[in-house]
Amino acid sequence: MPHSRKDKQRQTKERLLQSAQDMIAAGGMSAASIRGICDGAGFSQGAFYSNFASKDDLLMELLEAQIAEEVGFLGALIDQTTAYDATLAALSERFATLAMQPEWSLLAIELQLHAQRDAAFAQRYNESKARTHAAFAHLLETLIERHNLVAKLPALQIAIGLHALWSGLVIEGTAEDALPRSEIHLAFFKALIRPATAKPDPTD
């Protein structure tokens, strides 16, 4: 059966996104030029502008797709891990692994810096970041409810702090005297979330 025009456009878009992902993995965001992305995907720049308004548009979509995939992964991890301690350890290991993937970590940081310099881009970036925080907050709410936990802060605030910790450890986690990233994430979780049956923290 011949592909419809819609199918072909979707495939073109996916190939452009994959080309950009490959270029970023190989040389960082600055290496991913529109011409290079198009050449890597085997399309003209006309095909690019039929799918994306700009390079920023493509990069945001690439990042949002990665975040959506990660939210799904973490949700499955929470569903599949039954013990509270094991769940926190698994989440901490996953965030540590993400912080060691520079093609995604540095892309997120570079986009954040770009948003500080470009007001028009900042609006879309901040809206996307708010959706990310909300998605992670929902995961945390699921975790808290499932294990009958008590949180020191609202789930959204923990999600924002977790995002900030992950971003910071992308850079600071390489310091010579830094603890393993997974240990820092685990300490963060345990400082803000505890079992309801645990002895109350006097600082609560």
- What are the start-end ranges of the E strands in the chain? 149-151, 193-195
| Tens-place pLDDT, residues 14-49 | 999 999 888 887 777 777 899 999 999 999 999 999
96 and 171 share a domain? yes
Q: What distance lies between CA 142 and its chain's CA centroid?
A: 18
H/E stretch holding 191 reads helix 181-192
Range of the domain at 84: 62-195
Q: What is the CATH number of the domain that holds 12?
A: 1.10.10.60
- In angstroms, the CA 127 to CA 110 distance is 16
- Assigned domain for 46 exists: yes
Tell me the pLDDT tens digit for each residue of 102-137. Answer: 677 777 777 888 888 888 889 989 999 999 999 999
- CB 98 within 8 Å of CB 70: yes
Q: pTM of whole model > 0.85?
A: no
Q: What is the CATH number of the domain that holds 157?
A: 1.10.357.10
Number of domains making up the chain? 2
